[in-house]
Amino acid sequence: MSVIETSHLTKIYDEGPVAVRAVDDVSIQITEGEFTAVVGPSGSGKTTLLNIIGGLDRPSSGSVKVADVELGDMNEDQLIKFRLENIGFVFQSYNLIPVLTAKENTEFIMLLQGVSEKERDTRVLQLLDEVGIGEQANKRPSEMSGGQQQRVAVARALASRPKFVLADEPTANLDSKSAENLLDLMLQLNKEENVTFIFSTHDQRVIDRARRVITLEDGKILSDESR
Amino acid sequence: MVLKLAWRNIWRNKRRTGITLAMTIFAVVLSTLMMSIKEGVYENMISSTAGDFSGYAQVHSNGYWEDKSLDLAFELTDSLEQKITNTNNVEGFMPRVDGFALAAVDNVSKGSMVIGIDVEKEKTFHGLDKRVSEGTYLTANDDAIMIGDGLASHLKLTINDTLVLLGAGYHGMSAVGKYPIKAIVKFGSPELSKQLVFMPMKAAGMFFATDQLITTIVLKTKNSNNGINAANSLTQKLNEKYEVMNWKQMNPELVTMIEADKSEGYVFMFILYMVIGFGIFGTMLMMLAERKREFGVLVAVGMKRIKLSIMVWVEILTVSILGAILGLLAAFPVCYYFFTNPIQYGEEITEMAEEYGMEAVLRASLAPHLFLEQALIIAIIASVIAIYPFIKLQRINAVKEMRS
């Protein structure tokens, strides 16, 4: 079953003197349970593509359907609600809320969703245990390493039980050991819980372990290879 | 969660919050102290000019205040007395007969204000007996007078001397009398002191031929505000035969002077709070710039913009209100100190103050409205300032902010 479907997606930035086609006529389908890497050099349009799929940015033309819902038909408020209920985000620089603990950061999304306290508590502890930082639950981001923070970010992304997780260069700021551990974790979640992951990356370790690799160059799909 | 987040965000940059708090505290202390001392001066002026002698409210026959004619004297009936005593905020009343006469001795004379008083009530309600500087206080049956120390020195009189009073009485009767001076009373205001002649009500009735009639009822109230309230209530109760006037209506010049002085204070306060407002605005802009990325992330993961705006609004308002409360807590002891230990004027200013009938001290006021006003002003300033981030966050672009 297709979770994401883009059709002739194009994004043109024309704020500068020269219009830039960040995404150029991209049509892809991503099915449930995929572990997909979107790769390519800097400026190839990876992040823009992920932002459009995640409803953070709007395409200049073309369409994006997530779980059969056309994102282009939604206004900003509807998109925020849609993201909250359907998409988990993992960012390159973790982007945890600095004043909240690991537990509170993970819980935050569920609070926005209006999940009951009891359910929140159970799920947060379960998630933090799953990502291996149950013991760090009461620490704030500044008291944790980059790898630990990114694990919290993964737990936060999964907290809302999203249809898929978008991860923008999740290993870029991690040392090799932390990056390996994070990849193991995400693969495990993908296999055991059937969580769909879509990464943008140019980290070869991630590319090597992805089951599908979409290569972009100058905004166009250069190759789309399943393994 | 929004409140928890807001509270923690306030303390994430302690130095910035500290600076904002310090600024607010400083402004509130300065502004409260200034307004408290100003209010204290006004209270002193009002009490010296109106409260001590003429009371904060009076009842006359309609038109008396304009004409000041003895022909408008009226009877203090039981029903009138009852209406007055049953009025809220009225603690008592003092009937008087006010008239004018020429006070003469040998070849010297001076225009004077002759006031027939209920000696017991004047003693009880405003301690007229305590103003006696020489001699003894009057009794109800005395056929004698007390005069102001200014008049005594002008006419070179002392106790047991005799003063001749010549004037017009009720309905054109001549008012002539010769009275021994039983006491000399001291009044702060030189103007009053040079004019005042007190005589018991009975003697005044004889002198002015008003018999039992009176011209004025002075209402005794706790303070100037109660005087205004009492006058308003009594106006509703009395018919058009009477006029009830509050101290503001009887002293319009004083009111104008206070209003003019207050305006100056407001200008100073406005400048002070503008500086503080810009200070808060500056730190708020810094905060917004610092947290752009975080705001972007919050919107990206699904936080509604309105919630984000409310969170920042709560942060700004909380810091400002906290500053205002701490400022008030700091200001209160300072104001209290200047209330219990008023600043004494120098000799020259003391003389000037006394000329205006004022107590020569700068005493702070502890009126609650002064303190509440400052907190309210800070809350309003903070709310107005918080409009900017509120609107800005409503238009936030998550992708753009996350890239910043």
pLDDT digits (tens, 9 = 90+) for B197-232: 999 999 999 999 999 999 999 999 988 889 999 999
A97 and chain B in contact, CB less than 8 A: yes
Asked if the Cβ–Cβ distance from A89 to B300 is below 8 Å, we say yes
A-B contacts at Cβ under 8 angstroms: 57
pLDDT of B329 reads 93
Nearest residue of chain B to residue A111 (CA atoms): B1
Q: Binning pLDDT at 50, 70 and 90, where does residue B75 land?
A: very high
A112 and chain B in contact, CB less than 8 A: yes
Among B81, B62, B84, smallest CA distance to B71 is for B62
pLDDT digits (tens, 9 = 90+) for B82-99: 999 999 999 999 999 999
Select the residue of B8, B293, B300 nearest A99 (Cβ to Cβ).
Answer: B8
| Shortest distance, CA B307 to any CA of chain A (angstroms) | 10
Give the residues across from B216 on adjacent strands: B96
Residue B78's contacts (CB-CB under 8 Å, 6 or more residues apart) are none
Which B residues, 264 through 323, put their C-beta within 8 Å of a C-beta on chain A?
A: 293-294, 297-305, 307
* Mean pLDDT of chain B, nearest integer: 89
Among A224, A164, A173, smallest CA distance to A203 is for A173
Amino acid occupying residue B77: T
Residue B112's SS3 state is strand
Alpha-carbon dihedral sign for residues A80, A82, A85, A91:
negative
pLDDT digits (tens, 9 = 90+) for B115-128: 999 999 999 888 88
pLDDT of B186 reads 86
Residue A73's Cβ-count burial label (10 Å; 0-12, 13-18, 19+) is exposed
Q: Within its chain, how far is the Cα of B401 from the centroid?
A: 54
Q: Binning pLDDT at 50, 70 and 90, where does residue B188 land?
A: low
pLDDT of B126 reads 80
| Shortest distance, CA A28 to any CA of chain B (angstroms) | 22
Question: Using N-to-C axis directions, what is the helix angle for B305-340 and B368-385, rounded to 10°?
Answer: 150
With beta carbons under 8 A apart, name residues in chain B contacting A89: 300-301
With beta carbons under 8 A apart, name residues in chain A contacting B299: 80
| Shortest distance, CA A77 to any CA of chain B (angstroms) | 7
pLDDT at residue A127 is higher than 80: yes
pLDDT digits (tens, 9 = 90+) for B323-362: 999 999 999 999 999 999 988 877 777 777 766 656 777 8
pLDDT at residue B2 is higher than 80: no
Asked if the Cβ–Cβ distance from B302 to A56 is below 8 Å, we say no
Token pair of B125, please? 């309600």
Which A residues, 4 through 43, put their C-beta within 8 Å of a C-beta on chain B?
A: none
pLDDT digits (tens, 9 = 90+) for B365-377: 998 988 888 888 8
pLDDT above 70 covers a percentage of chain B that reads 97
A60 and chain B in contact, CB less than 8 A: no
Asked if the Cβ–Cβ distance from A98 to B294 is below 8 Å, we say yes
Q: DSSP labels for B134-200?
A: EE----TT---EEEEHHHHHHHT--TT-EEEEEEE-GGG-EEEEEEEEEEEE--S-HHHHTTEEEEE
Residue B292's contacts (CB-CB under 8 Å, 6 or more residues apart) are B401, B404
CA-based end-to-end distance of chain A:
18
Among B173, B179, B46, smallest CA distance to B116 is for B179
pLDDT at residue B151 is higher than 90: yes
Domain tally, chain A: 1
pLDDT of B393 reads 92
Give the residues across from A7 on adjacent strands: A63
pLDDT of B354 reads 65
Which of B12, B298, B301, B318 is most worth mutating to test chain A (most A CB atoms within 10 A of its CB)? B301
Length of chain B: 404
Q: What is the largest CA-CA distance in chain A?
A: 54
Angle at B163 between CA B157 and CA B164, to 5 degrees: 150
pLDDT at residue A16 is higher than 80: no
Q: DSSP labels for B305-353?
A: HHHHHHHHHHHHHHHHHHHHHHHHHHHHHHHHHHHHSPEEPPHHHHHHH
pLDDT of B375 reads 82
For chain B, domain boundaries: 2-49+254-403, 57-220
Which A residues, 62 through 91, put their C-beta within 8 Å of a C-beta on chain B?
A: 76-77, 80-81, 83-85, 89, 91
Q: How many CB atoms lie within 10 A of CB B352?
A: 13
The residue segments making up the domain with residue A126 are 2-226
Among B36, B204, B42, smallest CA distance to B116 is for B204
C-alpha distances in Å from residue B194, one per residue of A177, B62, B302: 99, 29, 81
With beta carbons under 8 A apart, name residues in chain B contacting A111: 1
A218 and chain B in contact, CB less than 8 A: no
Determine the average pLDDT of the residues in A123-128.
Answer: 90
Radius of gyration of chain A (CA): 17
Amino acid occupying residue B343: I
Select the residue of B293, B299, B399 nearest A80 (Cβ to Cβ).
Answer: B299
Residue B388's contacts (CB-CB under 8 Å, 6 or more residues apart) are B281, B284
Asked if the Cβ–Cβ distance from B399 to A83 is below 8 Å, we say no
Q: B337-341 — which CB contacts under 8 Å span 24+ positions?
A: B337/B364, B338/B33, B338/B36, B338/B37, B338/B40, B338/B362, B338/B363, B338/B364, B339/B36, B339/B40, B339/B363, B339/B364, B339/B365, B339/B366
pLDDT of B399 reads 83
pLDDT digits (tens, 9 = 90+) for A179-227: 888 888 888 888 888 889 999 998 888 899 899 999 999 999 999 998 8
pLDDT of B358 reads 66
pLDDT of B254 reads 86
Q: Binning pLDDT at 50, 70 and 90, where does residue B45 land?
A: confident
Looking at residue A222, which CATH number applies to its domain? Answer: 3.40.50.300
pLDDT digits (tens, 9 = 90+) for A65-108: 998 889 989 998 899 999 999 999 988 888 899 889 999 999 99
Among A64, A225, A94, A86, smallest CA distance to A168 is for A94
Complex ipTM value: 0.85
Determine the average pLDDT of the residues in B300-324.
Answer: 90
